Structure 1
Amino acid sequence: MNLFRSGKETHEILQNLTLALEALTAEVRSLRGDIRRLQQERTNAAQPAQARTEQPRASQARPRTQARQPAKRAAKGASKAQAGTTRTRARTGQRRSRKAPVPVAVTGVSKPAADYLTDRGYVIEAYQDTIDEQVTETCRFLGRRHATSLAPLFNQLSRSKAEEPLVVDLGDRTAKEYSHSVNLCQMLKRTKYLDKFEQRDDTQRLRVTLTKDGVRFLKGYWLEQFVGSRLDEFLHDSNARYSILMNAKIANEGNKHELDLFVLEEDEPLWIECTTAKNTLDRRKKMHQIRRRLNVVPERTILVASAASDSQVRNIAKTSPFQFTNLANFIPTLEKATRYDPK
């Protein structure tokens, strides 16, 4: 056992310990709330029905000295009480006007995974029920090369804003990098993620303008679709019985969440989240809290971080309460998490 760790490793360990402690604290608070509610219900049940329904009259509740107060002071107090009542009614009205989650009908191959969630009290408000083959092809092309030949273009596109022209100079890059960059831009143009695209082969310069959908695509949608396609291929090749629910918006007791990939494989849940962020601590905290509510075991809960290096994956995985990986190690992680049998 190595007792001398680098400062970076120590920081990662402390982050994960903080994550676990905060999740445990949240669970304790939830249990305390349940206990208080049960105690209140027992107290209410023990009280006579008449005592609960009777209300004291205003004349009985008002002290005698109040009648001797000056009229001006009494009027001021009455106006304050009326204002307070109005505010209370307004707040109550706001709470009552909050719309309840409206469920959508989930059909096809996604239904078994959706049924697992609805059986546990979740309402599914939306999900991705169609797949665009051109978008999937673009995601696969980008996913396999985003950190290698497409890195110069991808890094600049990811920081670009919608409807703002961007000039990408690839003059010092290899012919392969330039060719792959042109191919990606052509794909993005076909899928309407690029509004404009011009290329200058003599100087290896590209002029592009992203659409709003293109910005959202590069911020993370491409990763969800790429991981989803890899997951589907993997489960199909393993001859598993499975159901995939993508980008599901779910609600339960006032709490709303969005699940990137929720899978039911051989009647066992598998949950996968994707992120392009470099700092994944907040995402891991949230996942750790939701995982228990979904009743998914840690071994089958996976966070895929496209920006994480292999060393970061190793450091975080040492103390992470669930699976943490990057794209390079996604399939090996999936093999351990599922019923995959190479035989």
Structure 2
Amino acid sequence: MLEAVGVISRYLQSAMAQARYDLVGPGRFLAEIPELGLRVEASHLEAAREALQEALEAWLLEALRTGLTPPGLEGGEDPVRARFFALAGEMWRLLREPPRPVPEAPEPQKPEAPEPPKEKGEGGKPRKPASLEEWLKGLGIQVVKKPQAEEEEKEKVLTRLALFLGDRYPSLEKLYERLKQSLSTKRQFELSLSEASQEEIANSTQFCTMLKQYALLTSYHYKSEERRIRAKASTEGWVQNFLTGGWLERYVAERLRKFLRSKNLPHEVAVGYQVTLPGGDAMELDVLVRVGDRVYWFEAKTGDFQAHIAKYAGLKKVLGLSARESFLVLLGMDKARAKELTALHGLTVVNQANFVEVFQEVLEGNAP
């Protein structure tokens, strides 16, 4: 283990050796590592060096947490390096898992409250779908195509990218909007970070590094002197689909899975079912969730939603779901406007930051 720790110590020393220091004004020293997008200021040189060291350590911990291989540590030939990353990955996996509940002594039996009446199916029996497919078939909806599971490693990478973008979207919004605009033109884009915060710079450069590492960006360069990003996205179809909206569907599904696992609730989550409705219309259902006997539906949009919201309101009726069981996740939507849209269109409108919280309220019966 000491050898593995040495890998990190040597990496920190090597990265700090590439640091640059400048006097930018009276009592203002700048310290930066341009390759990593790290940049700090302090009142004197030693304070700037210490602040940069702390920023580098924080960046490295975050990189390991999200599964990013820091530049300079790529390659699996070194067995010490391989053992370290295997151990780091296992530690983060254990930290992410919810603690197992400790068995408690049984309490005295209390009279059970009567269960609320359940919806009836054919023959007057309660609706108890064994699976989401069975539930759809019971509504006369034909499943035309189910999403094909990707290779395990590809699934891990795409989920990691989706979680990184979704969890940090406020600081990545400008980058994502430029990236999405460039996807339609298939041309290189530029983004100035001259007015950006340190968090925006660090997250933007790290996300671009990840996209370039996995070839979702075919080119990427960060010019630290100008605080400017230049990059170009891959034109492959699956990359375009993922970056324009597929990532948000994946993010919603993964966050719901993590939440339901943390609550030890039996569940099923399905993403991207292509179906034919009873009237013959073809549709794609972004995310379906079954929790016990109840089914919930989530649609996710990263851009204009106005032309689709009436269609979603109609589809809710076909699915036989209430407004509280039908969610529309709109990227970057402010909460006040989301409440207004909810009241107008009979769907629960949320954003990428609060949809799990609202879903929990619905499950607990506390939604307004």
Scaled by the length of structure 2, the TM-score of the pair is 0.58
Q: Determine if contact 2:313/2:345 at 8 Å carries over to the other structure.
A: no
- Residue 158 of structure 1 pairs with residue 177 of structure 2: no
Q: Deviations over 1:239-261 (max 9, x none)?
A: 11111110110113421110000
Higher helix content, 1 or 2: 1
Q: Determine if contact 1:277/1:307 at 8 Å carries over to the other structure.
A: no
Q: Determine if contact 1:114/1:245 at 8 Å carries over to the other structure.
A: no
Q: Determine if contact 1:247/1:261 at 8 Å carries over to the other structure.
A: yes
1:241 — aligned with what?
Answer: 266
Scaled by the length of structure 1, the TM-score of the pair is 0.62
1:144 — aligned with what?
Answer: 167
1:130 — aligned with what?
Answer: 149
1:262 — aligned with what?
Answer: 288
The one-letter amino acid paired with 2:176 is: F
Rounded to whole Å, the distance in 2 between the matches of 1:291 and 1:313 is 18
Rounded to whole Å, the distance in 2 between the matches of 1:335 and 1:307 is 20
Out of 266, 274, 277, the residue aligned to residue 303 of structure 2 is 277
SS in 2 for 1:124: strand
2:11 — aligned with what?
Answer: none
Structure 1 residues not aligned, in runs of 5+: 1-110
Rounded to whole Å, the distance in 1 between the matches of 2:267 and 2:298 is 14
In 2 relative to 1, CA 191–228 (structure 1 residues): closer, same or farther, beyond 3 Å? farther
Q: Deviations over 1:69-113 (max 9, x none)?
A: xxxxxxxxxxxxxxxxxxxxxxxxxxxxxxxxxxxxxxxxxx811
Out of 170, 174, 183, the residue aligned to residue 193 of structure 2 is 170
- Residue 187 of structure 1 pairs with residue 216 of structure 2: no
Q: Deviations over 1:182-203 (max 9, x none)?
A: 1111222234321222222333
Q: Deviations over 1:206-232 (max 9, x none)?
A: 221112344332321121111111111
**Percent sequence identity over aligned pairs:** 22
Q: Deviations over 1:134-162 (max 9, x none)?
A: 11111111112222x21221221121135
Greater Rg by CA: 1
1:324 — aligned with what?
Answer: 349
1:287 — aligned with what?
Answer: 312
- After TM superposition, the structure 1 = structure 2 runs for residues 1-343 of structure 1, keeping only pairs within 5 Å, are 112-130=131-149, 132-147=155-170, 149-161=171-183, 163-212=186-235, 213-253=238-278, 254-278=280-304, 280-339=305-364
Aligned residues: 230
1:129 shift after superposition = 4.2
RCO greater where, 1 or 2, for CA within 8 Å and sep 6 or more? 1
Q: Determine if contact 1:192/1:214 at 8 Å carries over to the other structure.
A: no
1:78 — aligned with what?
Answer: none
Rounded to whole Å, the distance in 2 between the matches of 1:277 and 1:120 is 30
Rounded to whole Å, the distance in 2 between the matches of 1:331 and 1:255 is 30
